[in-house]
Amino acid sequence: MATNVSFLGPVARAKSKKASEAKRLGGPIASMSQTAAAVAEATTNGKDYFVERNGLRYAGTHLLIDLWKAKGLDNLALVEQALREAVTAAGATLLNIHLHHFSPNGGISGVAVLAESHISIHTWPEREFAAIDIFMCGSCDPYKAVPVLRRMLETDSIQLNEQRRGLMP
């Protein structure tokens, strides 16, 4: 079941994260030992990272987000910082970021690879448009990333579509 929501303004579900949660990344990217420890703990505890909410069990929440009238879409440093802050806000574990800048004034495509899945972005600065994809499993909340992206890319024009991936029959 898809939910298509268009709105202007803030996302009501957003809450600020505690400083201790932001520190858990151990720097800009989780180290290999931190990642290995998290995987080992999940395996030991038998956790499979599927989500259980409202009587449903599924792999994760996948948000497709269109930002219109956005700013800074050709600014590589800004896009990278927006992704990093979105990851932290959602409570996810950053493994790696890879961004490609098509020219000094062109669009940017890239992905933040997460232990809990990914956030990808593709920008068209000449149209003030960004297509963002957020897929997260486990206890992460992808909706908490939306206000960060909205604020950092300076837009109030957002279209959001939600998919529940891997919905168990």
Q: What tens digit of pLDDT does each residue of 94-122 get?
A: 999 999 999 877 999 999 999 999 999 99
pLDDT above 90 (res 7): no
Non-local CB neighbours of 117 within 8 Å, separated by 6+ positions = 60, 92, 135, 136, 137
Residue 38, token pair as written in the block: 């998290």
Q: Any idea which architecture 3-8+18-165 has in CATH? A: 4-Layer Sandwich (3.60)
| Cβ neighbours, 10 Å, residue 48 | 10
**Residues labelled as active-site residues:** 117, 122, 137
pLDDT above 70 (res 143): yes
pTM of the full structure: 0.73
Q: Average pLDDT, stretch 71-93?
A: 97
State the Cα–Cα distance between residues 108 and 95, nearest whole angstrom. 20
Nearest to 80 by CA among 156, 149, 164, 169: 149
Average pLDDT, the chain: 81
